[in-house]
Copies of this chain bind each other. A is one copy, B any other.
Amino acid sequence: MTQYEDAKAGTITAQMRRVAQREHVAPEFIRGEVAAGRLVLPATRLHLAGAGGSSVTLDPCGIGRAITTKVNANIGASPVSSCKEQELVKLALAVRYGADTVMDLSTGGDLDETRRALLAAATVPIGTVPIYSVVVGRDIADVTPQDMLAAIAAQAAQGVDFMTLHAGIRRKHLGLVTGRKMGIVSRGGSLLAKWMVHHDCENPLYEMFDEISAILREHDVTYSLGDGLRPGCLADASDAAQFAELETLGKLVQRARGSGVQVMVEGPGHVPYDQIEMNMKREQALCDGAPFYVLGPVVADVFPGYDHITAAIGATAAAFHGASFLCYVTPSEHLALPTAEEVQAGCIVTKIAAHAADVARGLPGARDWDDRMSEARAAFDWKRQFELAFDGDTARAIRSRDLAGQEDYCSMCGREWCAVRISKEVTRSLGG
């Protein structure tokens, strides 16, 4: 039984209990959300037991609107850069700096070995894009549908917790892309498009959807339905191609659930700030509340080197208006494979987006953390501020440049000019 099937049958699993504990809600509440398809719990039986016999086991994590917004970090070597060891460093950094899940998007090095190593080391759910592993060293046109199915089955058997499968990009959608400025910017989407055009056939992942569902159900792998036609620039956002695919994804959500498989849906990409709310609402309606996993969205195209920030701005709006799951973007997006330092930067800004949105949508208890920080700030308790800060080391280092002690002020204003200190005098005078 998958978590979804258990939930539908009224069973509260150990994993649902753990998620309830982490989110400070009742286990029955989590079960209800999973049963409704509004919350997924990506956790294969293999990873829960320790993938490949590892002593490190998965700590279950829930993704859905009813609970805190989650952050994913994409890592993985490319043919040009990095290796397994470097990617393991990135995994550790990502988790330390707020990633709730990690995707291994390796396209270089020994893919199988890197995936195995990451699964064995990860306490967070691991996601992959299985199509990548079938095109290493050969052309996508030479890959058979059975090759694709075999790759999905092999990775499911390794313990991959969720898989991006671009099953919604269909042959008939491709004509909608020709007028775009950026065309197809999804790697998986572009590979499948090339396959469809070469063979003049429908997308094999669409054709084999029920067979894939059967494999995913067996291991309780969660679908992350890929958005192969997501916009790659502001000009292409919210176009006919994007929404045609989204409509297909809505139908596949129902088919996945019909097969007992957990399912979430991927979304854009590059979207002007004013179109984000509409995009989130459309997905929630078309996909019947399936968790929306957005890739940014970045809200401007002219800031390469800072796209973790253009993405964090869009991600806050997305999480406020309907997304449950935010894929980070790093400073090297559009330019290079991220370094470990950039992975860290990407995680932190995306965590900011997730938390700001959780406060804004009034999630119970979300603001308590901020309130404790404000109290520490008003009390000039620097030690406590650094303990509460998401990245206390960085905050301490900045303050310590000028003042290393527990002074009741900082170097921004100095003691005599500190508004908080003067404000306390005023309040005392007023008898407050």
Contact = CB atoms under 8 A, between A and B. Distances in A.
A177 B223 CA distance: 51
Nearest to A233: B374
B398 A332 contact: yes
A322 interface: no
Contact of A423 (B190, B353, B362, B367): B190
A394 B235 CA distance: 24
Interface stretch (A14-22, A26-34, A146-154, A413-421): A413-421
Interface of A: 78-81, 107-108, 132, 174-175, 177-179, 181-187, 189-191, 193-194, 197-198, 232-236, 272-275, 299-306, 309-310, 312-313, 316-317, 320, 331-337, 339, 348-349, 352-353, 355-357, 359-362, 367, 369-371, 373-375, 377-378, 385, 388-391, 394-395, 397-399, 401-403, 410-417, 419-420, 422-427, 429-430, 432
A335 B426 contact: no
Contact of A306 (B184, B352, B371, B417): B352
A402 B302 contact: no
Contacts of A355: 300, 302-303
A393 B269 CA distance: 25
Specify how many copies of this chain sit in the oligomer. Answer: 2
B377 A334 contact: yes
B430 A174 contact: yes
B81 A194 contact: no
Contacts of A419: 184-187, 189-190, 232
14 contacts: A178-B432, A184-B420, A185-B419, A187-B422, A190-B420, A190-B426, A232-B420, A235-B370, A272-B367, A273-B357, A302-B355, A304-B395, A306-B390, A336-B410
A413 B187 contact: yes
A332 B273 contact: no
Given A352-B309, A420-B182, A332 B412 contact: yes
A134 to B, nearest CB: 13
A392 B13 CA distance: 52
A402 B197 contact: no
A423 B185 contact: yes
Given A174-B426, A181-B374, A335 B193 contact: no
A361 B369 CA distance: 33
A362 B274 CA distance: 9
Contacts of A185: 419-420, 423
A80 to B, nearest CB: 4
Given A182-B374, A183-B378, A399-B336, A416 B306 contact: no
A228 to B, nearest CB: 9
Closest 3 CB pairs of A and B: A178-B432, A183-B423, A79-B414
A395 B335 contact: yes
Of A175, A302, A310, which is in contact with the most chain B CB atoms at under 10 Å from its CB?
A: A302
Nearest to A299: B356
